């Protein structure tokens, strides 16, 4: 990386390889990552270690990790500017996690909404990893001394925890870890399900009509939007109680670059059917180049391997700086081995 990048602020974010990215992942997170690359030094990774907190077949995880990697690149992340790597290739994250575990309280982890949701969804497998997941996320962030973490609204609680852990560690051992800021996108921080607009759009939704995947073809995208749940009213307006329409307006604004007000104006007086069609068209056209680039990249496994190997090597080097400092602060005997 160029020397000038040393003065730039550092951005870090991750995404789980639990399936094709949804329009929620895209609008709330990934598509904002590309434009940040010029102003910041960026590190992005596929959180495969987070993915095994719920049951997933090994072959499937391997496949989805590579697919997620290719999707990130297809969404406009440029490897000449950013590092994109796979979490399990950089062992220092989990090494730091152990130390941070000892600065994290059982009580605060018990309060995490995602833990409570996932425990309810998988009552037969409430494993320690699921409970400890936010500490690994804190380690992902703190190991690089990240300044800013772009995420959707659902991850803010985890980010707040990472800040608390950093502050607690610094309080106990002296200034060591940078306390990161969150970065929430101005539009689309929470994209809702097309079938139940009071719930977030999620990769794990069992109803395929609820979720737009970034690799869906145009016909599929339009069909799903046509079936989107709205309300019994007829007015296209952004208002409380109109969750379905609000969501469609948010999505339309996010892909068209227009403000919500401009979008409302554009569809004034039109029927829901026409509006849904227009949103579907706009999303499909917006995603077409991503789908094409992905199809090209996923064929080229050798290129992908070269990229994730180089990036993990650079990330590992960066991360040792923090790990060594932390190990020293807590009183581990130094070794020449790192």
Closest residue to ligand TRP: CB criterion: 14
Residues 6+ apart with CB under 8 A from 261: none
Q: Is 29 in the site for ligand AMP (CB under 6 A)?
A: yes
| Known active-site residue 328 | no
Give least dist CB 333 to ligand AMP, A: 37
HSE-CB at 30 with a 13 A cutoff on CA atoms is 28
Per the residue annotation, which of 8, 81, 178, 200 is the catalytic one?
200
Mask 193-212, x = binds ligand AMP (CB under 6 A)?
-------xx-x---------
The site partner of 149 among ligand TRP, ligand AMP, none (C-beta below 5 to 8 Å per kind) is ligand TRP
Distance CA 156, CA 106 (A): 19
Q: Indicate the length of the chain as a whole number.
A: 338
Q: Is 149 in the site for ligand TRP (CB under 6 A)?
A: yes
Distance CA 175, CA 329 (A): 10
Give least dist CB 331 to ligand TRP, A: 27
| Known active-site residue 203 | yes
Closest residue to ligand AMP: CB criterion: 28
Q: What tokens does 19 get?
A: 């399936």
Mask 144-183, x = binds ligand AMP (CB under 6 A)?
-------xx-xx----------------------------
| Known active-site residue 121 | no
Question: To 5 degrees, how large is the angle CA 209–CA 47–CA 115?
Answer: 70
CB of 114 or CB of 220, closer to ligand TRP: 114
User: Can you spell out the DSSP letters for 290-329?
Assistant: HHHHHHHHHH-HHHHHHHHHHHHHHHHHHHHHHHHHHHHH
Distances in Å between the Cα of 15 and the Cα atoms of 170, 201, 221 are: 27, 15, 23
Structure letter (DSSP) for residue 27: I
Q: Is 32 in the site for ligand TRP (CB under 6 A)?
A: no
* Selected binder of ligand AMP within 10, 20, 28, 286 (CB under 6 A): 28
The distance of Cα 18 from the centroid of its chain, to the nearest Å, equals 11
Q: What tokens does 102 get?
A: 């000892």
CB of 47 or CB of 99, closer to ligand AMP: 47
* Selected binder of ligand AMP within 16, 53, 87, 145 (CB under 6 A): 16
Binding site for ligand TRP (CB under 6 A): 12-16, 47, 50, 137, 140-141, 149, 151, 155, 158
Active-site annotation, residues: 118, 200, 203
């Amino acid at each position: 990386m160029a020397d000038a990048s040393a003065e730039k602020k550092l951005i870090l974010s991750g995404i789980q390889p639990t399936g094709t990215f949804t329009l929620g992942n895209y609008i709330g997170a990934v598509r904002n990552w590309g434009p940040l690359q010029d102003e910041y030094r960026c590190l992005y990774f596929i959180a495969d270690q987070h993915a095994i907190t719920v049951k997933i077949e090994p072959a499937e995880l391997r496949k989805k990790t590579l697919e997620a990697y290719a999707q990130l690149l297809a969404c406009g992340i440029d490897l000449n500017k950013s590092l994109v790597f796979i979490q399990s290739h950089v062992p220092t994250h989990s090494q730091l996690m152990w130390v941070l575990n000892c600065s994290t309280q059982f009580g605060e982890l018990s309060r995490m909404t995602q833990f409570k949701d996932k425990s309810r969804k998988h009552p037969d497998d409430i494993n320690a990893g699921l409970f400890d997941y936010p500490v690994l996320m804190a380690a992902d962030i703190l190991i690089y001394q990240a300044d800013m973490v772009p995420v959707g609204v659902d991850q803010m609680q985890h980010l707040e925890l990472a800040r608390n852990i950093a502050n607690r560690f610094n309080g106990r051992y002296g200034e060591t870890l940078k306390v990161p800021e969150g970065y929430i996108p101005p539009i689309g921080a929470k994209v809702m399900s097309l079938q139940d607009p009071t719930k977030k759009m999620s990769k794990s939704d069992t109803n395929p009509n609820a979720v737009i995947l970034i690799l869906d073809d145009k016909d599929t995208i339009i069909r799903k939007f046509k079936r989107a749940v709205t309300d019994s009213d007829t007015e296209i307006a952004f208002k409380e109680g109109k969750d379905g329409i609000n969501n469609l307006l948010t999505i339309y604004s996010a892909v068209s670059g227009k403000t919500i007000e401009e979008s409302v104006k554009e569809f004034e007086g039109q029927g829901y059917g026409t509006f849904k069609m227009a949103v579907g068209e706009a999303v499909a056209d917006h995603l077409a180049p991503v789908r094409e680039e992905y199809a090209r990249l996923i064929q080229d496994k050798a290129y992908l391997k070269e990229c994730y190997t180089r990036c993990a090597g650079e990330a590992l080097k960066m991360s040792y700086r923090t790990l060594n400092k932390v190990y020293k602060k807590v009183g581990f005997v130094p070794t020449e081995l790192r």
